[in-house]
């Protein structure tokens, strides 16, 4: 499949993550990846994306605790090595891959990131980065100590519709941006890992994080105060987790961002930014298997733009491979992931205390924009082995 890149060159941060030994990996050949985990996101999006990335990165290894999955997927996608998790540490030292894409349940992100880093392997980790800010710091420390690149898989930082929204908001076409609101909801399947509290489940970590991150990159700022509430209800799916969470975040400049994320409602994925002279609605906003759409209204005149469906996972893989080859730190890196987890922790604290929480001072991260956009034709899964979609239709 052919790829099309935008005119600008993606701009990873040219800043070292720390000293330590030089990580394994070539400087010009395609970066060799292992995918750790063979759940729905891996089979539906991550593994198929490598069909678009051959010049930049290749998939050589797959890890899963399910032998049937390993065998079937390695045949379908011609993956050289298909291993159990018990072989992870030895494989990291074997020289068969340079980087890992961690597509495991949230509570395992820290462990596998640290183990990979200690073996000199670069890490692209699914969001949320981890389930606590302490775990995020451990991941950052391991990356710095071992001089490896650590990136968090914020795929929308490379996606045209969302980066175009940033450009529109920052251009002044909407006037002064005043507030952001968003809804992200779905009907989670009973028994899915997202319903298990001890595995980092719940709507905040899984889908609320998109709303948080979008507010931050659209306002180009960090929240200073948070208030939140949650509902659970009687549905047995939500015995361990909240069904829905409602959040209001105050930003500098007297701006407000609000969102609701839910595992017990119809599929909705949108946000709206309202300024003093216009507004922008992205609907859908966060999907990766559908076209995305903008409706921009300025002084009462509306215009709708439809953005083609793209392979968002190939984009982040190719960008990360470039960072590895160039020895540059990716953006979104570990600090970006840390900030979102810190915000989630304060949201949870607000829910427990039943009051607004003043945010600690947060570090400022480089913001994504259209220069970071990469376009690849949609990839297609070759079928699923032993997994179900996380939603019930």
Segment 331-356, tens digit of pLDDT = 999 999 999 999 999 999 999 999 99
Q: Is the fold of 3-155+312-330+370-376 the same as that of 160-309? A: no
pLDDT at 391: 87
pLDDT tens for 63-94 read: 999 999 999 999 999 999 999 999 999 999 99
pLDDT at 349: 98
pLDDT at 271: 98
Q: Give me the count of residues in the chain.
A: 393
**CA dist 54 to 12, 51, 62, 337, Å?**
21, 7, 17, 27
Distance between CA atoms of 117 and 123, rounded to whole angstroms? 7
Distance between CA atoms of 341 and 187, rounded to whole angstroms? 23
Distance of CA 190 to the CA centre of its chain: 23
Per domain, the residue ranges of the chain are: 3-155+312-330+370-376, 160-309
> Pairing relation of β-strands 81-83 and 57-63?
parallel
Buried b / exposed e along 105-136 (16+ C-beta atoms within 10 A): bbbbbbbbbbbbbebbbbbbbbbbbbbbbebb
Positions in the chain whose pLDDT score sits under 50: 1-26
pLDDT at 354: 97
Element at 167 (helix H, strand E): helix 160-171
pLDDT at 28: 75
Distance between CA atoms of 286 and 127, rounded to whole angstroms? 14
pLDDT at 392: 73
> Pairing relation of β-strands 255-262 and 264-275?
unpaired
**CA dist 302 to 21, 103, 121, 167, 246, Å?**
55, 40, 49, 17, 29
Question: Integer distance in angstroms from the first to the last C-alpha of the chain?
Answer: 31
pLDDT at 393: 55
8 Å CB contact between 385 and 38: yes
Give the Cα-Cα-Cα angle 145, 150, 155 (nearest 5 degrees): 170
Buried b / exposed e along 46-64 (16+ C-beta atoms within 10 A): bbbbbbbbeebbbbbbbbb
Distance between CA atoms of 329 and 147, rounded to whole angstroms? 10
Topology annotation, domain 160-309: Dihydrodipicolinate Reductase; domain 2 (3.30.360)
pLDDT at 362: 87
pLDDT at 16: 31
Strand partners, 181: 258, 272
8 Å CB contact between 182 and 211: yes
pLDDT at 364: 78
Closest CA to 76 of 392, 384, 331: 384
Q: What is 296-329 written as a DSSP string?
A: EEETTEEEEEEEPP--HHHHHHHHHHHHHHHT-B
Closest CA to 77 of 56, 62, 95, 97: 62
Element at 201 (helix H, strand E): none
Topology annotation, domain 3-155+312-330+370-376: Rossmann fold (3.40.50)
Residue 334, classed as helix, strand or coil, is helix
Per DSSP, helices labelled H in 354-379 are none
Element at 239 (helix H, strand E): none
Share of the chain above pLDDT 90, in %: 89
What letter would DSSP give residue 95? T
Interacting residues of 300 by C-beta distance below 8 A, sequence separation 6+: none
């Amino acid at each position: 499949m052919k790829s099309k890149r935008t005119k600008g060159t993606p701009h990873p941060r040219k800043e070292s993550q720390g000293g330590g030994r030089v990580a394994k990996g070539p400087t010009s050949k395609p970066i060799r990846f292992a995918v750790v985990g063979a759940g729905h996101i891996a089979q539906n999006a991550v593994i198929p994306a490598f069909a678009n990335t051959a010049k930049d990165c290749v998939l050589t290894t797959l890890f899963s605790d399910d032998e049937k999955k390993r065998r079937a997927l390695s045949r379908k996608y011609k993956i050289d090595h298909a291993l159990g998790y018990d072989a992870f540490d030895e494989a990291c030292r074997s020289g068969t891959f340079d980087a890992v894409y961690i597509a495991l349940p949230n509570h395992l992100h820290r462990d596998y990131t640290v183990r990979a880093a200690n073996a000199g392997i670069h890490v692209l980790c699914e969001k949320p980065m981890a389930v606590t800010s302490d775990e995020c710091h451990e991941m950052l420390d391991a990356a710095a100590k071992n001089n490896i690149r650590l990136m968090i898989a914020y795929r929308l930082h490379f996606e045209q519709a969302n980066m175009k929204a940033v450009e529109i908001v920052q251009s002044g076409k909407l006037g002064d941006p005043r507030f952001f609101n968003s809804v992200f909801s779905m009907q989670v399947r009973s028994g899915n890992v997202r319903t298990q509290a001890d595995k980092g489940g719940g709507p905040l970590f899984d889908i609320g994080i998109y709303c948080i991150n979008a507010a931050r990159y659209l306002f180009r700022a960090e929240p200073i105060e948070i208030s939140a509430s949650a509902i659970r209800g009687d549905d047995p799916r939500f015995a361990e987790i909240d069904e829905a969470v409602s959040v209001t975040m105050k930003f500098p400049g007297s701006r407000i961002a609000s969102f609701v994320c839910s595992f017990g409602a119809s599929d909705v994925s949108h946000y709206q930014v309202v300024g003093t002279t216009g507004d922008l609605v992205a609907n859908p906003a966060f999907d990766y298997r559908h076209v995305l759409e903008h409706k921009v209204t300025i002084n009462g005149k509306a215009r709708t733009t439809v953005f083609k469906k793209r392979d968002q996972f190939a984009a982040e893989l190719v960008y990360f491979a470039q960072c590895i080859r160039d020895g540059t730190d990716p953006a979104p890196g570990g600090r970006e992931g840390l900030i979102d987890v810190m915000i989630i922790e304060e949201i949870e604290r607000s829910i427990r205390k039943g009051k607004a929480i003043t945010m600690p001072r947060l570090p400022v991260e480089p913001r994504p924009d259209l220069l970071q956009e990469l376009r690849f034709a949609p990839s297609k899964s070759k079928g699923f082995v032993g997994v179900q979609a996380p939603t019930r239709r």
